[in-house]
Amino acid sequence: MKSVASLLILGLVLSTPSYLSAQNPDAQKPVANEKAQQADQGKEKGDQGKEKPKAGEKKDDCGGCIDKQMQAASPATKADTSKGMKLKETTPISEILAAFEKFEGKRVLVKGIALGTCAKRGCWVNLKSEKDNKSFLRVKVEDGEIVFPMTVVGKEVQVEGIVEKMVIPVETLREQGQKTAEAKGEKFDPASIKEPRIVWQLKGLGAKWDKSADKAEKTEKADKADKVDRDAGR
């Protein structure tokens, strides 16, 4: 009888791990599961505080602007990048347009009517010459430091900055030419562009304009947003 009881106990002991493994397959890999769990926890911690884009939402930036591919041709200038505008005397835009080389690297204060601005980030604005309605000075600022809204078009803008020479590489010009031709359904020969393009502009360090319309536009947008929320029952 003792022998039979011993054999039964031994059989139960040997069969128990297989039974548990069949009910819980993960019990065979405790180390692997623990590492995976730690990795998931680490990923959750790393994702905390990050703003996730909404479905179908695109980041509004100027990543495709040609400005990103332009290269500075002028030597590095130790400019004061503060928003403070120091100069009192303005330089006519027509004089700068007539002799860019003369003003290269110099800090100037200009004023003119805004003909157009960047619709995405407000990172550039074109100021009309006081002598020619078709001529303008291009002003480029660092993204986010100064923002020219669409409401600035048609207003007089004062900008203080440094006249600089920029170069658009041949490769960039060919890419732009190809995209333009495809949009128009035309043919484009990359070999037709053989030299880089020189662009003169004013690196804006400070700017002033009448911001009353800007405030009115913000108020109007806020009112529309409130109306949408009310209609949605929020």
Interatomic CA distance for residues 91 and 79, integer angstroms: 18
Interatomic CA distance for residues 180 and 177, integer angstroms: 5
DSSP symbol at 121: T
Query: What would the pLDDT profile of 25-43 be if each residue is shown by its tens digit?
Result: 444 444 445 544 555 555 4
Contact, 167 vs 73, CB < 8 A? yes
Strand partners, 157: 112
- The whole model's pTM is what? 0.61
Cβ contacts of 221 within 8 Å, gap of 6 or more: none
Q: How many helices (H) and strands (E) does the chain have?
A: 6, 6
3-state secondary structure of 144: coil
What pLDDT score does 72 carry? 75
**Homologous superfamily of the 66-75+83-165+199-206 domain (CATH):** Nucleic acid-binding proteins (2.40.50.140)
What pLDDT score does 194 carry? 95
Cβ contacts of 144 within 8 Å, gap of 6 or more: 121
Interatomic CA distance for residues 84 and 64, integer angstroms: 30
Residues in the chain predicted with pLDDT less than 70, given as ranges, are: 1-66, 68, 75-83, 213-234
What pLDDT score does 67 carry? 72
